[in-house]
Structure 1
Amino acid sequence: MRRRGLRFLADRWRAVVTLAAWSVLETGQTFLMGYALARALDQGFLAGRADVGLGWLGVAALAVAVGAYGTGRVYGGVAALVEPVRDRLVRRVVARGVREGDGGALSGLTQQVEIARDTFAGLVMVSRSFLFTAAGALIGLCSLDPLLLLVVAPPLAAGVALFAATLRPLARRQEAFLVADEGIAAQLGRVCPGLRDITAAGAEERVAADAGARIAAELRAARSLARWGVVRVASLAVGGQLPLVLLLATAPWLLDRGVTAGALVGALAYVTQSLLPALQNLVHGLGTSGARLAVVLRRLAPDTAPSAATGVAWTEATPTDHAPDPPRAAVRGPVTNPPDTSRAAVQLLAQQPTPDTTPTAAPPPAPPALSVTGLTFAYGPTSLPVISGLDLRLAPGAHLAVVGPSGIGKSTLAGLVAGLLRPGNGVIQVYGHPVPGRAAAAHRVLIPQEAYVFTGTLAENLGQLRPDPVPQAEVWAAAEAIGLDGLLDRLGGPAAEVDPGTLSAGERQLIALTRAYLSSAPLALLDEATCHLDPEAEERAERAFAARPGGTLVVVAHRISSARRAAQVLVMDGQRVDLGGHEELVERSSLYRDLIGGWSRVGSQPPLPLRDADGVDAVAGPGLAGDRRHVVAHGAVGQMEAAGDLGDGGAPGGQG
């Protein structure tokens, strides 16, 4: 970090020189404050010449005005050093957040970068102020009488040296305190949304003990930081207040050796009005803000070179070209109504037959687009697994639809594949790369229900997942494939500015879908990403993703049409799963038939009359309040989820 700072200053030497020049002008008032006061006493008022005394005081007042002008110009010089630092940090945070999927990028951009900017500006100001103020005061003391310099300089140097010795320990303890504080925040962020589950599972003591340990760690860090703060106060006392005591204590000795009364008063002015305030600002500014800046810069600017953080990692994560294998899927798990056995590996081929093997040498097979082995996940250590022992294998080019009752785990599966959730057991790989991981993140793109569109141009929104600007011809081709071309025409093309608040939910989804289509990631995960589109627009978007060269598509379906278009359909029913084509599942899966009935306009035909004696429908049909036409009753009423049962407190509709 020190080397980077020196290189940064060397590259901006003109700004450093300009800042130093204005600082010299500002420091003129420091020198003349004590010198003019001494001359006003010795040559003016004590000599009976009031006009001379007033003249020297006028010179001091003029120096204050000139110094104020220099101070105003100093801020411009500081800005010339500070703003490039902020711009560089912003670029680094944005690059890491967009290209590497860094979850801390938002905090880095909104808080840590601004902390670094403000702190760096403060450090430049206090360090520069102390350096030039001390130089002006010491030169003034020497000009009045070298004996004054002998009394003031040694304790000042000792105080500064003592303070410098505390900088590194203070920085380490400041970082330890911040880490402990962040640990408490992260722990509470995990605990507070799950208080009901913690109470239900009887885990209060365990969670309380963990939180207590983190609080105790922060307390230890705070006490250690406070102890070193005492040393910092001691350095201020030695360097700033001891010289004042020594001047008063040695005043008779100084006067006996020719130091004038005016020079002694001027020396007291130098210490009280210049050196002591400058040292206080240095100790408090550099001691606290300097430690904070060191911590923030280590987090925002890691030791890796910029290319490793932005270019190399992205290049290595870019999908490699390989010969397309026939799209196929394999799933193993507790199968609903399997034809032969209750636990079997089901292999299904889609779209293409398996190629004949030949004795000629062939390149090694490409890794599967998605490989899930023994996947188990539960929302809590004592909760029932949402997914249990799932094995799934998708070849490049496969098209899979995931269906099931609301709240059964569809979106959970998408979140696990995307690396947003961590499984309790099992292994997930995307194109041979483990999840979570940067390489796997570069090979998949997740489009959720609620699309994110930021203020900016359409081109910036659509090219967010690409390292370089996307050519306009490619933007228009993707927009036409997805169905965004109408909005592009209406807004005025890719260069048009976008106000997310003026767009409909469907328009925002089309932008997010086109952005994902333009990304380099071959595996697209559509987690009910077309729920705000009409059936025709949904079909157009899904067919575009399915036709992407080398692309693999997984759709969490909310319409039966999505399942019909897919080569394979994964039916999730608690800890049981079933996989097959649409017609095959209609024949063997009662749950799938129920889902089709709930999705269809007519509805499935119940085995009992449509209404019983109490007027209650035996089978739920479409159009239930709040179900977005994809909530289907499954099981007894007492087993149904109610609003608020989910982790976010919302209704079960739309959650998988």
Structure 2
Amino acid sequence: MGLLVWSGVEAVPPLVSGLFVSAAVDQGFLAGRPGVGVAWLGGFGAAMGVRAYAARAGFPYLAGVVEPLRDALVERVVRGALARPAADPAAVARLTEQVESARQLTATLLRTLRGVGVTLVAALVGLALLAPVVLPLVLVPLLAAGLLFVRLLRPMAAGRQAVVLAEERLAAEAGRALRGLRDVQATGSGEAVARALTGAARESAAASRALGRASALRALVVALGGRLPVLAVLAAAPWLLARDALTAGELLGVATYLLQQLDPAVRTLAGTVGGWLLNLAVVLDRLAAATAGTDTPAGTGSAPPGVPPGVPPGVPPGVPPGVPPGVPPGVPLGEVRLTGLRYAHAPGATPVLDGVDAVFRPGEHVAVVGPSGVGKSTLAGLLAGLATPTAGAVLVGGGMRGVVLLPQEAYVFPGSVWENLTWLAPGASEPEVAEAVGRLGADGVVARLGGLAGPLRDPGELSAGERQLLALVRTYLAASPVVVLDEATCHLEPAAEERVERAFAERPGTLVVVAHRISSALRADRVLLLDGGHGVLARHGDLQVLSPFYRELVGHWLGSTTGPGAAGGTGLAS
């Protein structure tokens, strides 16, 4: 209500501008009364001062509209990130940037549209009061400009969205290339990466050119709505003055409305507002697409079952003791079936996985390999139920709660060592926990912390490798028929990693390892090679025969472990 009141006050100066100028000329200067003319112009100046004060007074009410929108968008993005713990942090950062962009664009649009709308309406009302005879000369081209502007919005919005998508693809390609420089060097795929980056850059440039061509037509809107009424009135002025349809003062008043109110308003609408409105529409569309399906009522979506008191939400999922119910019909316990699996990070985006078919047999040890950005971690999230396939299906014998996923960044919480190790197996006995600690080589870190009952007050005091060892023991103890290790040993030395993987392979259940060293692939029963959105599952030796790309990949990996400076490096970045 306050915003409407102050908007009404802002409408006074545009409304009276032409009337005051007309009175100053006709009743003052042309009548030989310059003091009266100056008084009318002084009144117009005072009205402009009132308008400036009203614009300032309306800002708090404008904030009351914009800030709740920003808060709602932030809440939606945060809930979406918590609902998908495996989400790319860079993507979440981009979403938060887009939220701030939406806030700023909304505030700017509301502030500008309010001023422009008030000016347009006031100018037209003033024209009707001062010289209704010129209204047809103004309204006809103004309506034509409005229709043209509306027609241009759709192609300009599509062009703007194409630019944003192309820029996001270019940023994603560049990010993958930078993160996977070791892969690029190891596999000798520099030329392929360069071609992909060049293609993305050309696509971005083409989208920008197409948007520029569509946006150039906005100049026609300005010509129709802002300039043509002025030309029409000037062309008709001699005829109107000769027939006393207008006085000299009224003609100057009409010119004031057209040149100081109407033309700037049309320019702002067609140029600045048109651009901001398109940007806001694209940003909101991207936010809606990226956070689709994340609307969770407050108070739901709390921490997963079995999380100790005080453990924050959003940590890696766990399972309670015993095998959860819900085994899909016809799928044996521990078996994993991928059927036509397709996944894209957003609608319209290029699928990361596109038609992957594979079956992991119960008790099998499978290594997932491929270049950086090919979708290995995405597949791990799909296996654990952290993401929903765009198409196809993931069927797990034991249900999604029968899968325990351990990501690269191991989660350790303040408490005792025992509480951390038995989080997913609260019923485990001390001999069982001690045996798991010894089998995985975590006895050193456990002893340093004071044994199983020792306190763990600050997880930040542990190294990344120590945190991974504790999380690996916790995962080993979990009663889950399927374990997915998503580079969960990347901070361990090769010998420690081999000990861990062999222990998990001997553990009952199916093991899926997202490999970052070739040794992981050599130890696996079978290897799933991801490349170009597709997957090939076979034994290591068979895969070398079936896939030239895998053969080349292995050759580069092995070469990187025997070349100069290769000590300790078994060389596959994720």
- Which bracket does the TM-score occupy, shorter chain normalised? 0.5 to 0.7
1:250 match: secondary structure = helix
Q: Are 1:27 and 2:11 counterparts?
A: yes
Does residue 90 in structure 1 map to residue 36 in structure 2?
Answer: no
User: Which position in structure 2 is the counterpart of 1:278?
Assistant: 265
- Alignment size in residue pairs: 451
Deviations 1:324-382 (A, max 9, x none): 359xxxxxxxxxxxxxxxxxxxxxxxxxxxxxxxxxxx997986467599xxxxxxxxx
Which AA in structure 2 matches 1:127? L
Would the alpha carbon gap of residues 129 and 483 (structure 1) be closer, same or farther in structure 2, given more than 3 Å must change? farther
Give the CA deviation at 1:484: 9.3
1:487 alignment counterpart? 457
Distance 1:313 1:205, change over 3 A: farther
Alpha carbons of structure 1 residues 481 and 59: separation in structure 2 relative to 1, 3 Å: farther
Alignment match, 1:506: 462
What is the rounded CA distance, in whole Å, between the counterparts of 2:505 and 2:175 in structure 1?
40
Distance 1:169 1:261 in 2: 44
Post-superposition shift, 1:167?
Answer: 0.7
- 2:322 maps to what in 1? 324
- 1:577 maps to what in 2? 523
| Map of 1:157 onto structure 2 | 143
**1:158 Cα deviation from its structure 2 partner:** 1.7
Question: Residues 70 and 99 of structure 2 are in contact (CA less than 8 Å); yes or no, is this contact kept in structure 1?
Answer: yes
Q: Quote the Cα distance in structure 1 between the aligned partners of 2:248 and 2:451.
A: 89
**Pairing 1:555-594 to 2, within 5 Å after superposition:** 556=489, 568=506, 573=519, 575-577=521-523
Matches within 5 A, 1:314-463: 324=322, 368=333, 371=336, 393=362, 419-420=376-377, 429-430=383-384, 444-448=404-408
State the 1:180 CA deviation: 1.9
Residue 245 of structure 1 corresponds to: 231
Cα offset, 1:31, TM superposition: 1.4
Give distance in 1, aligned partners of 2:222 and 2:454.
65
Letter in 2 for 1:148: V
Matches within 5 A, 1:88-127: 88-100=72-84, 101-103=86-88, 105-127=91-113
Shift of residue 134 of structure 1? 0.7
Spell out the pairing of 1:34-73 with structure 2 (5 A cutoff): 34-73=18-57
Amino acid at match of 1:487: R
Q: CA deviation at 1:172?
A: 0.8
- Secondary structure at 1:222 match in 2: helix
Structure 2 CA distance, aligned partners of 1:219 and 1:279? 29
Change (3 A) 1:124 1:640: same
User: Aligned with 2:523: secondary structure?
Assistant: strand
Question: Deviations for 1:606-632, whole angstroms, at most 9, x for unmatched residues?
Answer: xxxxxxxxxxxxxxxxxxxxxxxxxxx
**Inter-CA distance 207–548: structure 2 relative to 1 (3 Å threshold):** closer
| Alpha-carbon distance in structure 1 between the residues aligned to 2:504 and 2:375 | 20
For each residue in 1:451-471, what CA deviation from the matched residue of structure 2 results, as whole angstroms up to 9, or x when unmatched?
699xxx99xxxxxxxxxxxxx
Distance 1:451 1:321 in 2: 15
Letter in 2 for 1:271: L
Structure having the higher Rg: 1
Quick one: which of 295, 301, 308 aligns to 2:288?
301
Unaligned runs of 5+ in 1: 1-16, 327-361, 374-388, 403-408, 459-479, 489-502, 510-527, 532-537, 580-634
1:393, 1:297 → 2: CA distance? 44
Q: 1:108 to 1:89 in 2, by over 3 A?
A: farther
Deviation for aligned residue 1:137: 0.6
Structure-2 change in CA distance of 1:416 and 1:505 (3 Å) = farther
Residues 370 and 431 of structure 1 are in contact (CA less than 8 Å); yes or no, is this contact kept in structure 2? Answer: no
Q: Distance in 2 between matches of 1:252 and 1:431?
A: 77
Cα offset, 1:170, TM superposition: 0.7
Give the structure 2 partner of residue 78 of structure 1: 62
Match of 1:168 among 130, 136, 154: 154
Matches of 1:183 and 1:565 in 2, distance apart?
40
Q: Identify the match of residue 221 of structure 2 among 235, 240, 246.
A: 235
> Residues 300 and 485 from structure 1, CA distance in 2 versus in 1: closer, same or farther, beyond 3 angstroms?
farther
Write the letter of the residue equivalent to 2:467.
T
Instruction: Tell me the residue number matched to 1:596.
Output: none
SS of corresponding position for 1:420: helix
Structure 1 residues 140, 655: closer, same or farther in 2, change over 3 A?
closer
* Cα distance, 1:481–1:154 mapped onto 2, change above 3 Å: farther
Q: CA deviation at 1:159?
A: 1.5
Structure 2 runs not aligned, ≥5 long: 306-316, 339-357, 416-449, 526-556
| Residue 221 (1) aligns with residue 223 (2) | no
In 2 relative to 1, CA 636–35 (structure 1 residues): closer, same or farther, beyond 3 Å? closer
**Mapped pair 1:289 → 2:287:** no
Superposed displacement of residue 84, structure 1 = 1.3
Higher RCO structure (Cα 8 Å, ≥6 apart) = 2
Q: Any conservation in 1 of the 2:14–2:261 contact (CA below 8 Å)?
A: yes
Q: CA deviation at 1:449?
A: 5.1
**Do the aligned partners of residues 651 and 22 (structure 1) sit closer, same or farther apart at CA in structure 2, a change above 3 Å counting?**
farther
